[in-house]
Structure 1
Amino acid sequence: MNERITQRIEVLGRVQGVGFRPFVHRTATALGLDGWVCNINGHVEVTAAGHPAALRELISSLREHPPPLAAVRRIEVTDVSGEETPVEGGFTVRTSQTDPSAAPREIPPDAATCEACLRELFDPGDRRHRYPFINCTGCGPRATVIEDLPYDRERTTMRRFPLCPSCAAEYGDPGDRRFHAEPLACPVCGPRLAWNDLRGEEALQAAVKAVEDGGIVAMKGLGGYQLVCDATDQAAVTELRRRKHRPTKPFAVMVRDLTTARGLAHISAQARDVLTSPQRPVVLVTARSQLPEVHPGTRRIGLFLPTTGLHHLLLRELDRPLVVTSGNLADEPIATDDAEARRTLATAAVGFLTHNRPIRARYDDSVVHTVGRATLVLRRARGYAPAPLPLPVPAALPLVGAGAQLKHTFTLAERGRAHLGTHTGDLADAATYDAFETSYADLTRLTGIGPRAVAHDLHPGYLSTQWAQAQPVERRIPVQHHHAHVAAVAAEHGLTDPFVGVAYDGLGLGDDGTLWGGEILIADLTGYRRVGRFARAPLPGGEAAVRHPARMALGYLHGLEPLGVPRPAPWLTRAFTDRLDERETRAVRALIERGVNCPQASSAGRLFDAVASLLGLGDTVSYEGQAAVALESAAGSLRVGALPWRLTLVEGLWVYDPTPTLTALLEGLAAGVPVAEAAAGFHTTVAEVTAALVERVAADLHTVCLGGGCFQNRRLLSEVERLLRARGRRILTGNAVPVNDGGISYGQAAVASALLAKEG
């Protein structure tokens, strides 16, 4: 007897906008099953009837061999009978449905142009030859065009472009790779390029000519406008810096292919894989030869490959590396609206290469670097966000992590999933704050998560904290900054047991009301105990000291917490102070001596700033972390021993006293030690200090979580990992979640979820 059963298969995860329904249709048809597949909210539901063995094979294929861009989180199977049983007659794709009671919905990130589309793009015989908006079910815009879920064309910005007969045939053909490709388009029915009164190919050629002539072009990308110029044209890059008000921060460089990338930088196997991934992030790699105006003060250059058909066309025509940077001025959010772009970028660009497909959501380029075989996300944006991350302790209430002040993100969490929103920036900028509120409203609507609790930083001055205080929620949960840093690392790796947390960053408010930044914690997701720290030093002038590393150096030389070791002798500091403005030096010393506007901070990041200034690598900075970047670059790969260091007990905490380190550093400079050797020695010292602090405070805890912006420093991270692993420790750090303040909101959400679960 031919046994026949019917099952409903619910597939949750990243299963919309990735060609999942066409995949189900092909697989089910090949297995001889009857039934249908449809989108429901943000997941896929399959009703299939046939032989039990065929159904088992279908479920196995869904789980084990989904489309490349899909991420199947969970499959739920129930038996079906009665009227819901499909009749024999084949398998179909049904109209999408909305179910208010469904699980949180998942928004697919954008994906770079796939190889199949790329071949068509440059095939003179293909109807999409040189069409900038080419895409299929395996690539193209997703998060940046979605207006609502379920994910169907009528709920994207592509609804403005009715399909021509040829595209409609592809869209409806189960055997075509564009079957239900929602952003589907072609030159007949899709978006078109524009440059003033020019359209299509003429518009592209006008932009090419502008770049060839040394100009700066504002180009409408996937998640916002980008400013483009010739990376090898020093005058053009210098002018871009002037117009963008970005004097020294490195620019990202887009290259045509891996061959070009290898000509500019050392590309490891891991970096190659990330460069060519569908996410197409900017990857920080070591430059072979410096492009002085592109990445001043660092040997690292940010490279990425074309992400869209338009990028591929531009790079093919120009055949040279291009600076492709965010379409904004200074720290403003990138422009997305055409009128907004023309208003804000008019002084930066000689012309606008735009198009008529609206950008629904703002997404900057993601930035990553590789350490060995690991990839560490530094800025989580296009290609990665807002794909969810797991929460090891499910959230008992839907909640939001409000994030920090700089490198701002927010995180929406419900049940066992956390949606880490895209990088926003510095909330002190009014336009950036507005962009945050817009992004929050959009993501809550799309995911269906309505927060009933908010987790926030302790610092009352953070705009994210003030925003959290104004939210109409049942619970507000304060989370200490550095606990959030290390909790983010632990949560990403599914760790709920106690661990040692090493949190090194610039500044964060501690639970004692002082500023922290070089902290050793014994922690789990529900709490922490501070067991070690760096010595405190004053920040002369408060926040102004962050922008002036020379002030930090004076703070360490003249106001470091007295821990029983004499400060460096005046003759050792004279070479440093003599190059500074004498009046400013006197004024800063007066602030320190009187304790006026000199908050004390136990900050690893500020110590790096001070050392960079002492070594002559930068007395002022134009972007956060610039001095530390210069210090890491100066150290290079040089291997030297540690400088002297000292740990001492202060009120029950083990404290690193950097006085012997600074004295030895100055003595070495006076004796003619090269700056590179001194910088390398300082890195070795901090790594040894970290390993020693961990050993002193937690001999019996096996796992160490490294968090905070200082661990963006590849050399510091590698040396700390090596020393701790040699002592038998398990080392975790952020991979998908940024270790900098971009990961704070995820850490806050993880802590809040654990605390709510503990309360029962």
Structure 2
Amino acid sequence: TMAEFEMCPRCRAQYGDAADRRFHAQPLACPVCGPKVTLLDNRGTQIEIDSDRAISRTAHLLLEGKILAIKGIGGFHLAVNALDGKAVELLRKRKRREAKPFAMMAGRLDTIERYAAVDWAAQRLLTSPAAPIVLLPKKYPNEIASSVANGTNCFGFMLPYAPLHYLLFAEPGIDVLVLTSANLSDEPLICDNDAALEQLGDVADFFLMHNRPVYRQVDDSVIHLINGKPALLRRSRGYVPEPILNPTPAVKEIFAAGADLKNTFCFAKGHHYLLSEHIGDLENPAVYRHYIRSIDHLAALFEIKPQVIVHDLHPTYFSTQFAQNYAKQAGIPTMSIQHHWAHAAAVITEYGIQDEVIALVADGTGYGTDDAIWGCECLVCSLTQMRRFGHLDYYPLAGGDAASVEAIRPILGLFKTAGIVLPEDILTAIEPDLQKVHIITRQIEQEFATVPASSLGRVFDAVAALVKLGSQNHFEAQLPMALEAVADPDETGFYPIRLRHTPEGSVVWTIGSVLAGLLEDIRKGHDASVMSARFHRSTGQALLEFAALARQQTGLNRVVLSGGVFCNRYLTNYLIGILQNSGFDVFLSRRVPANDGCIALGQAAIANETLKLRK
């Protein structure tokens, strides 16, 4: 906000002159009346108070390998020289971010082109007013420090979008910077000067800050290209609060609480669905407080007083509990929406589809209507009804949240369900602690602290571990990202696919044949790149078979894709291709993320259409 910066006479004259290009330009200011930039050390001592010298000194410090906290438009970033491996490693250590890739900023498009492949679509995104982080294929060899983005075949790049960025990159020697959110891992972005000094004093060596208050912190948006077209991974700065169109006005004002991971929330009012910016993971208390503040802010901004509250089916989600308490205090009704139906509904809403569709939804976890953990689903649904047509065969998942970290847990459950004995040498390569393996095995056998799951995300974890790409997720989806990164684009094989019909009338993918084929390739000594590609292609073929069987039964030809698994470019590009070759019309989340960042939109849309039927 510029509220506290009163214009000097010269700026006020330009502001009031209808012939001047700065006529009624809200952020109008100059060095006399505008914000001031200051450089401080991590004890809060001022090093430079002259703005030009502060920026110049910052550039020198970055080239010396120092870590800088730099205040932008939406909050602070942590910056280091991306070509300096020691500086990047030090940032990882201090930020407690062991492996997750860092985003980077370059001053010019041609600089990015030296390090990554930039096609016409990517160029348009990078140079757009939204200025998102764009995931781009790496070029080899390159001078970027290897620790910037290990375990992935992409770099995340953005171009300057704030005046301070442009001034910094105009300094000699500043080529490419790591520019990552200034927070401790999983906490909200810091935007206040005093809070930055207090919380980041052990992380940053110096602080380049200004005295313009950041009214609302907001993360950078992240986007990648699927089938040559943009698809958002994180919808935030530059894209929010642009609404999603609702063709017919909402009958009541609705608040949708979203999911617990990668949370966004959504309001429905009139012809608009107002989806929030990326909030984060609600299990973190600071993120949860930010969630509540953000709800109040957006409701006040658009003058919304919810008449209906919508939440996930999961009874212990923080978002569910918040929604129920909110509704109880306000005396208004609630609705619960199944997680994967909300995923599908988000795509249906994005494209304005009116009829039923076949929905392929694949992710890590989502609470099912049968109290199991769903995660590889073929649904036949619209915004008013949903039927589960098919799914990955259930396997026992032991250990609660630990199952999304330790690949040994889904491995043991999958192989038990398949009736395949895993050779001990493969087992111990993944988990050397045989006593731990024995405990997990007993858990599964005795059905203690286990849950039946159809999670495809955990299958990706298992396969990555089996082909020796790691045994744990140190950050969300680390193993699946590593598996995608090594997949051979020229491989044409896949493992046998088995789908069976159950007595209850659903279709189940029994993955044992895929696991058996994978084990045979491991015994033959095939490279991880071959096995990864075959697994990705097998998964695509299984999902295609689901869609084909659903079309055969229903006559439907539209397929929507959603869920975190479809953030995987290799799988999604392949699946879209084979679905289209089979005559399907395919719709993928693009304006909203395929991951749980879309859940709130789907919840709001289902509630809205359901209320219309009840009217």
TM range (shorter): over 0.9
Separation in structure 1 between the aligned mates of residue 249 and residue 570 of structure 2, nearest angstrom? 35
- Matched position secondary structure for 2:255: strand
Q: State the percentage of identical aligned residues.
A: 39
| Unpaired stretches in structure 1, ≥5 consecutive residues | 1-156, 561-565
- Indicate the SS of the match to 2:475: coil
Q: Which amino acid aligns with 1:218?
A: A
1:312 aligns with 2:166: yes
- The answer to whether the 8 Å contact 2:488/2:530 transfers is no
TM-superposed deviation, 1:579: 4.7
| Greater relative CO (CA pairs within 8 A, separation 6+) | 2
Instruction: Provide the rounded CA distance (Å) in 2 between the counterparts of 1:556 and 1:734.
Output: 29
- Find the aligned partners of 1:657 and 1:570 in 2 and give their Cα distance: 17
Preserved CA contact (<8 Å) 2:415 2:422: no
- Once the two structures are TM-superposed, the CA of residue 347 in structure 1 deviates from its matched residue by 0.9
The question of whether the paired residues in 2 share the 8 Å contact of 1:451 and 1:473 is answered with no
For residues 641-683 of structure 1, what are the alpha-carbon distances to aligned partners after superposition, in whole Å with 9 as ceiling and x for unaligned? Answer: 1111100112311111110100110111110111100000001
Residue number in structure 1 paired with 2:59: 208
Q: Of residues 98, 104, 117 in structure 2, which corresponds to 1:253? A: 104
**Are 2:490 and 1:649 aligned?**
no
- Which residue of structure 2 aligns with residue 293 of structure 1? 147
Contact 1:365 1:382 in 2 (8 A): yes
Q: Distance in 2 between matches of 1:205 and 1:316?
A: 9
State whether structure 2 residue 609 is matched by structure 1 residue 754. Answer: yes
Per-residue CA deviations over 1:559-617 (Å, capped at 9, x if unaligned) read x2xxxxx633444x632335522222122212111111111111111111111111111
Q: Quick check: 1:697 aligned with 2:541?
A: no
1:333 paired residue number:
188
Kept after mapping to 1: 8 A contact 2:59/2:174: no
Render the CA deviation track for 1:710-739: whole Å, top value 9, x for unaligned: 000011111111111111111001111111
Residue aligning to 1:497: 355
C-alpha distance in structure 1 between counterparts of 2:520 and 2:228, whole Å: 38
Contact 2:430–2:466 under 8 Å retained in 1: no
Quote how far apart the aligned CAs of 1:209 are.
2.2
- Residue 191 of structure 1 pairs with residue 35 of structure 2: yes
Deviation string for 1:405-462 (max 9, x for gaps)?
A: 0001111110110111110101000000111111111111111111111111000111
- Match for residue 344 of structure 2 among 486, 495, 517: 486
Residue 342 of structure 1: how far off its partner (Å):
1.2
**Aligned residue number for residue 523 of structure 1:** 381
Map of 2:249 onto structure 1? 394
Provide the aligned C-alpha RMSD in A.
Answer: 1.3
Q: Does 2:521 align with 1:668?
A: yes
C-alpha contact (below 8 Å) 2:218/2:277 kept by paired residues: yes
**How far is the alpha carbon of 1:172 from its aligned partner?**
1.4
2:412 matches 1:554: yes
Matches within 5 A, 1:699-718: 699=552, 700-718=555-573
User: Contact conserved, 1:504 with 1:518, CA < 8 A, in 2?
Assistant: yes
Structure 1 residue matching 2:170: 3-state secondary structure: helix
Among candidates 77, 83, 89, match of residue 238 of structure 1 = 89
Letter in 2 for 1:183: P
Aligned to 1:731: 586
Does 2:14 align with 1:170? yes
Q: Cα offset for 1:274?
A: 0.2
Matches within 5 A, 1:87-126: none
Q: Show CA shifts across 1:30-83 (max 9, x none).
A: xxxxxxxxxxxxxxxxxxxxxxxxxxxxxxxxxxxxxxxxxxxxxxxxxxxxxx
SS at match of 2:462: helix
Look up the equivalent residue of 1:216 and give its one-letter code. I
Task: Tell me, yes or no, if the aligned pair for 2:15 and 2:22 is still in contact at 8 Å.
Answer: yes
After superposition, where does 1:407-486 map in structure 2 within 5 Å? 407-471=262-326, 472-486=330-344
Q: 1:369 aligns with which of 192, 203, 224?
A: 224
Residues 549 and 610, structure 1, Cα contact 8 Å, conserved in 2: yes
Moved more, 546-555 or 350-359: 546-555
Q: Does 1:355 align with 2:210?
A: yes
What is the alpha-carbon distance in structure 2 between the residues aligned to residue 646 and residue 247 of structure 1?
Answer: 39
Give deviations 1:663-704, integer Å, cap 9, x for gaps: 110111110111100000001001111111111122310111
Matched to 1:232, the amino acid is: L
How far the C-alpha of 1:314 sits from its partner, in A, is 1.4
- C-alpha change, 1:636 and 1:250, in structure 2 (3 Å) is farther
Cα distance in 2, alignment partners of residues 406 and 195 from structure 1: 36
**Structure 1 residues 353 and 473, CA, compared in 2 at 3 Å: closer, same or farther?**
farther
Query: Is 1:264 matched with 2:115?
Result: yes
* Cα distance between partner residues in 2 of 1:452 and 1:486: 24
Which stretch shifts more, 315-324 or 514-523? Answer: 315-324
Aligned to 1:685: 538
Distance of 1:185 and 1:463 partners within structure 2? 43
Instruction: Name the amino acid aligned to 2:233.
Output: L
1:394, CA displacement in angstroms? 2.8
Question: Is contact 1:454-1:473 (8 Å) kept?
Answer: no
Instruction: Tell me the distance in 2 between the aligned counterparts of 1:307 and 1:209.
Output: 21
Give the drift of 1:393: 4.4
Equivalent of 2:444 in 584, 588, 592? 592
Query: In 2, distance between residues paired with 1:526 and 1:455?
Result: 14
Q: Distance in 1 between matches of 2:98 and 2:156?
A: 17
Task: Indicate how the Cα distance of structure 1 residues 533 and 392 shifts in structure 2: closer, same or farther if over 3 A, else same.
Answer: farther
Which residue of the partner structure matches residue 482 of structure 2?
630
Q: Normalization by structure 2: what TM-score?
A: 0.95
Within 2, Cα distance between the matches of 1:400 and 1:757? 16
Partner residue in 1 for 2:43: none
Distance 1:234 1:552 in 2: 35
The equivalent residue for 2:200 is: 345
Q: Are the equivalent residues in 1 in contact too, given 2:241–2:275 (CA < 8 A)?
A: yes
Q: Secondary structure at the match of 1:182?
A: coil
Partner of 1:604: 456
* Shift, 1:636, TM fit: 4.4
| Inter-partner Cα distance in structure 2 for 1:520 and 1:393 | 28
CA distance in 1, matches of 2:474, 2:117: 27
Q: Secondary structure at the match of 2:301?
A: helix
Structure 2: distance between partners of 1:553 and 1:399: 41
Query: Are 2:138 and 2:153, in contact at CA under 8 Å, matched by a contact in 1?
Result: yes
Deviations 1:352-376 (A, max 9, x none): 1110100001100000001234110
TM-score (normalised: structure 1): 0.77
Matched, 1:533 2:391: yes
8 Å contact from structure 1 (residues 550, 619) kept in 2? yes
State how far apart, in whole Å, the 1-side matches of 2:247 and 2:465 are.
42
* Distance (whole Å) between structure 2 residues aligned to residue 240 and residue 264 of structure 1: 21
Cα distance in 1 for residues equivalent to 2:570 and 2:220: 24
Whole-Å separation in 2 of the counterparts to 1:659 and 1:623: 28
Q: Which residue of 2 aligns with 1:146?
A: none
Contact 1:638 1:676 in 2 (8 A): no
Query: 1-side partners of 2:401 and 2:508: how far apart?
Result: 24
Equivalence map 1:47-58=2 (5 Å): none
| 1:495-553 deviations in Å (ceiling 9; x for gaps) | 12110111100000011111101000000001200010001122221210101112221
Q: Which amino acid aligns with 2:3?
A: R
Give the direction of change, closer, same or farther, for the CA distance of 1:477–1:570 in structure 2 (3 Å limit). closer
Indicate the structure (1 or 2) with the bigger Cα radius of gyration.
1
Structure 1 residue 742, shift from structure 2 partner: 0.5
| d(CA) in 2 for partners of 1:752, 1:392 | 15
Task: Count the aligned residue pairs.
Answer: 597
Instruction: Return the alpha-carbon distance in structure 2 between the equivalents of residues 324 and 579 of structure 1.
Output: 34
